[in-house]
């Protein structure tokens, strides 16, 4: 069965705490691949910067989680074009009313990304993305933005709005921005995150992250 | 990859012609299981009857094709309720603008059945039905009835209209009524079919028709 992804972010945080040494990344190698970061204090986004090496606390831990960008290549190869690429935009992302499973003082709602997909291609979209369980897997919602608390699909909370054509359906996947929502909702005292759309890029082929 | 089902009906007819002896069923056993039939002459629906044993031409061939009812049990077990069962109705069915692959003088458009599914359950619906490639497999269209030429989803061509709630998406599967559309569009001189919703019922458990 499909493994529903809405709880995975808090699980990832728990796993990271347990396997902290295995997941520890050298700050230098982590910071060389991304180019925009967000600094949160007491859950509030304080600033967005391009270099965090000087403010990286020595006793802190970095961890990487999946990103739906990992299946974009497979979608394109499968004949499903990406509106955000066509329009040279970042994918739109939205806060939802879907609650993550809480862990200790950490809790909050899932953030989703949205891709418009032709109604005739949605089954293929589900099949392709279900092969990437570590990069969010199958969509958690197809159509009906209202059903997950999105009032206006043309006003994303992160990223850019993209056109949805009359023969297309908005398809929503769990999103790696969810932890930033958790940081805010849980008022975490200090955290550095990636900036939405500015991901860690590895040299692993995308079909190896199944 | 998903095997798209829109061509399967004409393929089924070709296959049946090739393996005619293997697919030949005794009229008596066929007629004992269904209770309503349609008689077509020159592509026109002439009448609907409950017994065709007296008009069955001795040199004719009967064949059985898949039906989406085969996966309804799996959907229910998977937590996806069926509106048509809740409302004691037949599923709504529609003619579409999707062309089957033609074979000789036979050709025409696909007919689809429709089930309303919660936007949060559509991925699961795709996963469950994709396991039944002989009973239409994955949906061929999700959302956007217009995209397949359905002008008014509340006015089906066969079966009954059912309610679609605000948090639900209309999900369309290829339908075993397609051959009846082909009979009409191809003006077949004589044919007996099942009546939509009145299927051949075997004693095979539904999970054996994967």
CATH number, position B108: 3.30.2040.10
Q: Is the pLDDT of residue B6 over 60?
A: no
Mean pLDDT of A44-70: 88
ipTM metric = 0.79
The residue ranking higher by pLDDT, A178 or A3, is A178
Q: Which residue of B has its CA nearest to A122?
A: B142
pLDDT score, position B133: 87
Closest in A142, A148, A166 to B169, CB measured: A142
d(CA A74, CA A132): 10
**A2 Cβ under 8 Å from any chain B Cβ:** yes
pLDDT score, position B1: 36
Residue A2 pLDDT level (bands cut at 50, 70, 90) = very low
pLDDT score, position B15: 36
What percent of chain B is modeled with pLDDT above 70? Answer: 83
**B1 Cβ under 8 Å from any chain A Cβ:** yes
Chain-chain contact of A143 with B148 (C-beta, under 8 angstroms): no
pLDDT score, position A197: 76
Residue A112 neighbours by CB distance under 10 Å: 32
Residue spans of beta strands (DSSP E) within chain A: 37-41, 44-49, 93-99, 109-118, 141-142, 168-174, 190-194
First to last CA, chain A: 16
Most A CBs within 10 Å, among B112, B142, B150, B153, to test the A interface? B142
Contacts of B69 (CB under 8 A, 6+ apart): B135, B199
* Domain-embedded: residue B53: yes
Mean pLDDT taken over chain A: 83
The residue ranking higher by pLDDT, A67 or B2, is A67
Tell me the per-residue pLDDT of B19-57, one tens digit each, with 9 for 90 and over.
Answer: 332 233 333 345 445 478 999 999 999 999 998 888 988
* Domain-embedded: residue B207: no
How many structural domains does chain B have? 1
**B127 Cβ under 8 Å from any chain A Cβ:** yes
Task: Note the residue count of chain B.
Answer: 210
Residue A207 pLDDT level (bands cut at 50, 70, 90) = confident
Chain-chain contact of B127 with A167 (C-beta, under 8 angstroms): no
Q: A128 to chain B nearest CA, in Å? A: 8
Chain-chain contact of B143 with A143 (C-beta, under 8 angstroms): yes
Q: A159 to chain B nearest CA, in Å? A: 23
Chain A residues touching B78 at Cβ < 8 A: 1
pLDDT score, position A210: 62
Chain-chain contact of B122 with A140 (C-beta, under 8 angstroms): no
Mean pLDDT of A173-188: 93
Q: Provide DSSP, A99-143.
A: EPPPBTTB--EEEEEEEEEEGGGHHHHHHHHHT-GGGT-S-SEES
* Domain-embedded: residue A209: no
* Domain-embedded: residue A53: yes
Most B CBs within 10 Å, among A114, A142, A167, to test the B interface? A142
Determine which of A77-86, A185-194, B190-199 has the lowest per-residue pLDDT on average. Answer: B190-199
pLDDT score, position A149: 97
- Chain A neighbours among B 13-72 (CB < 8 Å)? none
Chain-chain contact of A120 with B148 (C-beta, under 8 angstroms): yes
Mean pLDDT taken over chain B: 83
Chain A residues touching B1 at Cβ < 8 A: 78, 124, 127
* Domain-embedded: residue B3: no
Tell me the per-residue pLDDT of A35-47, one tens digit each, with 9 for 90 and over.
Answer: 789 999 999 999 9
Residue B169 pLDDT level (bands cut at 50, 70, 90) = very high
Q: Which residue of A has its CA nearest to B3?
A: A124
Chain-chain contact of A139 with B123 (C-beta, under 8 angstroms): yes
pLDDT score, position B171: 98
- Chain B neighbours among A 168-187 (CB < 8 Å)? 168-169
Determine which of A31-40, A70-79, B130-139 has the lowest per-residue pLDDT on average. Answer: A31-40
Q: Is the pLDDT of residue B197 over 70?
A: yes
Tell me the per-residue pLDDT of A96-129, one tens digit each, with 9 for 90 and over.
Answer: 999 999 999 999 999 999 999 999 999 999 999 9
Closest in A2, A118, A166 to B127, CB measured: A2
Beta-ladder partners of B28: none
Which of A18-27, A79-88, A108-117, B128-137 reaches the highest mean pLDDT? A108-117
DSSP B111: E
What percent of chain B is modeled with pLDDT above 90? Answer: 54
The residue ranking higher by pLDDT, B167 or B3, is B167
* Domain-embedded: residue A153: yes
**How many Å separate Cα B83 from the centre of its chain?**
17
Which of A24-33, A200-209, B110-119, B191-200 reaches the highest mean pLDDT? B110-119
Q: B23 to chain A nearest CA, in Å? A: 31
Chain-chain contact of B144 with A169 (C-beta, under 8 angstroms): yes
d(CA B22, CA B209): 18
pLDDT score, position B210: 63
* Domain-embedded: residue A3: no
Residue A136 domain boundaries: 8-198
Q: B15 to chain A nearest CA, in Å? A: 26
Residue A171 pLDDT level (bands cut at 50, 70, 90) = very high
Closest CA to B38 of B180, B193, B182: B193
Q: Which residue of B has its CA nearest to A2?
A: B124
* Domain-embedded: residue A174: yes
Tokens of B152: 């008014």
Mean pLDDT of B170-177: 94
């Amino acid at each position: 069965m499909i493994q529903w992804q809405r709880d995975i972010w808090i699980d990832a945080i728990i796993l990271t705490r347990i396997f902290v040494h295995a997941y520890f990344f050298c700050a230098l190698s982590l910071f060389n691949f991304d180019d925009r970061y967000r600094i949160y204090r007491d859950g509030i986004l304080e600033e967005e910067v391009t270099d965090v090496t000087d403010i990286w606390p020595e006793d802190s831990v970095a961890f990487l989680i999946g990103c739906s960008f990992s299946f974009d290549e497979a979608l394109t190869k499968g004949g499903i074009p990406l509106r955000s690429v066509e329009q040279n935009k970042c994918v739109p992302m939205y806060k939802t009313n879907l609650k993550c499973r809480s862990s200790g003082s950490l809790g909050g709602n899932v953030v989703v990304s949205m891709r418009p997909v032709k109604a005739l291609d949605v089954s293929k979209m589900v099949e392709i993305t279900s092969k990437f369980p570590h990069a969010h897997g199958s969509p958690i919602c197809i159509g009906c933005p209202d059903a997950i608390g999105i009032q206006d699909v043309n006003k994303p909370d992160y990223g850019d709005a993209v056109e949805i054509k009359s023969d297309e359906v908005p398809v929503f996947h769990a999103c790696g921005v969810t932890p930033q929502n958790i940081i805010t909702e849980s008022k975490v005292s200090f955290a550095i995150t990636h900036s939405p759309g500015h991901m860690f890029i590895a040299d692993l082929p995308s079909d190896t992250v199944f």
